[in-house]
């Protein structure tokens, strides 16, 4: 199949490279000349594990190429994917579809013969209808069908998600689109990946509904963590206890500082706005958005409390800036709100992140960037783990303590067993594990070790 991917950002580049690896002939198109030049030179504009090797291998095989010229590429294509950005629109929170519609207009003028145009960007219900209308208006004689094929890629695990998906959702209104879309995904038949054909509007809603449900699940366990701290329970054990129920499942039940990233914040907001516009408000999603926003500031207050309340002039080491590990994505990362609140309270911030510091420089002011976790902790009155990078899971806690002027470790991801942190001499604060409970368990464990 000859495939064109309009947009060479996260979704477009990963999808295009994976389709090429399936044996399709793929051209990735982007208006950003510097991005295309970098890709042609062998560079990768985003961080995603394994993507550099995947792109290089398929460029070398001739299956993958890059261009800024849309017209020729689309004219020769069997299937054209629209994978441009749909950020939250300023002022009202709706998804900004200007890039999707602009791509539709350009595609319309380049069509030759029957072509399937597929929206892979995350778009509100009814977007496919508008894309079809625009193309029909711009090119009344064009032979085409518009389909919806939302992506379900996790940053940091996108290649595996694409090649071994839980499901592939394809929304069509024109049966002529079915056979080409089946051929596009035919290589997945070896893995027996479920391919769900639905109506176009249903497909568009599935993406938003899925992300909103996961965001709600994260927010739920974060609120349960608050209750655990108040009543003396352990949120990790609660999460395991409820996650063993197959109707609930264990994924997305890890308490932390709130969700962020390129998908959950904008998709929950867009779904909420769509529901309100159709007089079918989603109150649970409205509450999820509000609680998550409050959660990030509450985590900063947790750090302030651990430091005694007065942090003016003191240095706080922040480990982890990206919204999750294995990405350089800083969009709506909890670290942004946490750092801003700490700075507002008069603290100085020194941060370290394995991949996110370049992106952070454009979003954060007046912070120092360290070369390692221990460099970040040097002279700090507290160290805060915000993102659970593997590089932070096996720290020498005694070394960390010796670098700080005050031995306070605030673990917002519950990476460490409390007794391990306290054995290193650290005053340890975590999420959903009450201090009294932790002290008692630590003392009991210490007594057992001494008796042994």
Same domain for 229 and 330, yes or no, is yes
Same domain, 8 and 44: yes
Q: Are residues 157 and 225 in the same domain?
A: no
Report the SS3 class of residue 368: strand
Residue 235 belongs to domain with CATH number = 3.40.50.720
If asked whether residues 190 and 252 sit together in one domain, one would say: no
Mean pLDDT of the chain: 94
pLDDT given at position 368 = 97
CA distance 449 to 438: 16
Q: Find the helix packing angle between 334-344 and 283-306, rounded to 10°.
A: 50
pLDDT in tens, 243-277: 999 999 999 999 999 999 989 999 999 999 999 99
- 446 lies in the same domain as 384: yes
pLDDT tens for residues 14-29? 999 999 999 999 999 9
Q: How many domains does the chain have?
A: 2
The model's pLDDT over 63-121, given as tens digits with 9 standing for 90+, comes to 999 999 999 999 999 999 999 999 988 777 888 999 999 999 999 999 999 999 999 99
Contact assessment for residue 55 and residue 39, using Cβ atoms and an 8 Å cutoff: yes
Same domain, 268 and 154: no
Identify the DSSP state of 27. E
The pLDDT of residue 262 is 86
Residue 47 confidence class, pLDDT cut points 50, 70, 90: very high
Decide which of 155, 182, 198 is a domain's last residue: 198
Residue 191: per-residue pLDDT: 78
- How confident is the model at residue 110, as a pLDDT? 96
Q: Is 228 annotated in the active site?
A: no
By residue range, what is the domain housing residue 99? 2-198
Give tens-digit pLDDT for 274-290: 999 999 999 999 999 99
Q: Are residues 189 and 335 in the same domain?
A: no
Given a cut of 60, is residue 358 above it in pLDDT?
yes
Q: End of a domain among 142, 164, 198?
A: 198
For 372-417, write each residue's pLDDT tens digit: 999 999 999 999 999 999 999 999 999 999 999 999 999 999 999 9
Residues 112 and 167 placed together within one structural domain of the fold: yes
Same domain, 303 and 285: yes
Of the pLDDT bands very low, low, confident and very high (cuts 50, 70, 90), residue 435 is low
Pair (204, 95) in one structural domain: no
Looking at the chain, the number of H-run helices and the number of E-run strands are: 18, 14
Q: What is the pLDDT of residue 437?
A: 44
Residue 438 pLDDT exceeds 50: no
Q: Is the pLDDT of residue 328 over 90?
A: yes
> In what side-by-side order are the strands of the sheet with 168-171?
64-67, 25-29, 2-6, 79-82, 115-119, 144-148, 168-171, 195-198
Residue 448 has pLDDT above 80, yes or no: no
Question: In the 8-state DSSP scheme, what is residue 88?
Answer: B
216 and 147 within one domain: no
CA distance 35 to 337: 30
- DSSP secondary structure letters along 33-64: HHHHHHHHTT--SS--TTHHHHHHHHHHHTSE
Mean pLDDT computed over 207-217: 97
Pick from 173, 174, 167, 14: which is nearest to 81 by CA?
Answer: 14
pLDDT score at 440: 45
Q: Are 151 and 120 in contact (CB under 8 A)?
A: yes
Domain termination site, one of 179, 198, 217: 198
Point out the least confidently predicted range of 161-175, 194-208, 438-452: 438-452
Are residue 351 and residue 215 in the same domain, yes or no?
Answer: yes
Spatial CA neighbour of 262 closest among 333, 357, 362, 339: 333
């Amino acid at each position: 199949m000859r495939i064109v991917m309009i947009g060479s950002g996260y979704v477009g580049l990963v999808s295009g490279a994976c389709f090429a690896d399936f044996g399709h002939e793929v051209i990735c198109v982007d208006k950003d000349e510097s991005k295309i030049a970098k890709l042609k030179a062998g560079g990768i504009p985003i961080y995603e594990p394994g993507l550099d090797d995947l792109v290089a291998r398929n460029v070398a095989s001739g299956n993958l190429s890059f261009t800024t010229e849309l017209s020729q590429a689309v004219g020769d294509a069997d299937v054209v994917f629209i994978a441009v950005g749909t950020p939250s629109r300023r002022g009202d929170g709706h998804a900004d579809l200007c890039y999707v519609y602009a791509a539709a207009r350009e595609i319309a003028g380049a069509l030759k013969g029957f072509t399937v145009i597929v929206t892979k960007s995350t778009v509100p219900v009814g977007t496919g209808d508008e894309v079809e209308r625009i193309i029909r208006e711009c090119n009344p004689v064009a032979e085409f069908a518009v389909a919806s094929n939302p992506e379900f890629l996790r940053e940091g695990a996108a290649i595996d998600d694409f090649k071994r998906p839980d499901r592939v959702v394809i929304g069509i209104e024109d049966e002529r689109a079915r056979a080409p879309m089946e051929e596009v995904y035919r290589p997945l038949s070896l893995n027996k990946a479920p391919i769900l054909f639905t109506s176009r509007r249903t497909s568009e809603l599935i993406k938003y509904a899925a992300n909103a449900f996961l965001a709600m699940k994260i927010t739920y366990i974060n609120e349960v963590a608050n209750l655990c701290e108040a009543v003396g329970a352990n949120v990790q054990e609660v999460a395991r206890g409820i996650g063993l129920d197959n109707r609930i499942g264990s994924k997305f039940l890890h308490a932390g500082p709130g969700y962020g990233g390129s998908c959950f914040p904008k998709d929950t907001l867009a779904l909420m706005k769509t529901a309100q516009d159709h007089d079918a408000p989603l109150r649970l999603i409205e509450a999820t958005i509000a609680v998550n926003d409050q959660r990030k500031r509450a985590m900063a207050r947790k750090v302030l409390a651990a430091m005694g309340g007065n942090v003016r002039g003191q240095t706080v080491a922040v480990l982890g800036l990206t919204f999750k590990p294995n990405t350089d994505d800083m969009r709506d990362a909890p670290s942004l709100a946490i750092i801003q609140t700490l700075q507002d309270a008069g603290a100085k911030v020194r941060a370290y992140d394995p991949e996110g510091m370049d992106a952070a420089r454009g979003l954060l002011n007046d912070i120092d960037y360290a070369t390692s976790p221990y460099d970040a902790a040097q002279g700090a009155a507290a160290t805060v783990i915000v993102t659970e990078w593997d590089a932070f899971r096996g720290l020498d806690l005694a070394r960390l303590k010796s670098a700080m002027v005050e031995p306070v470790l605030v673990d917002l991801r519950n990476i460490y067993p409390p007794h391990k942190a306290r054995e290193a001499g650290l005053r340890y604060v975590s999420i959903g594990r009450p201090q009294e409970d932790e002290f008692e368990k630590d003392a009991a464990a210490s007594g057992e070790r001494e008796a042994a």
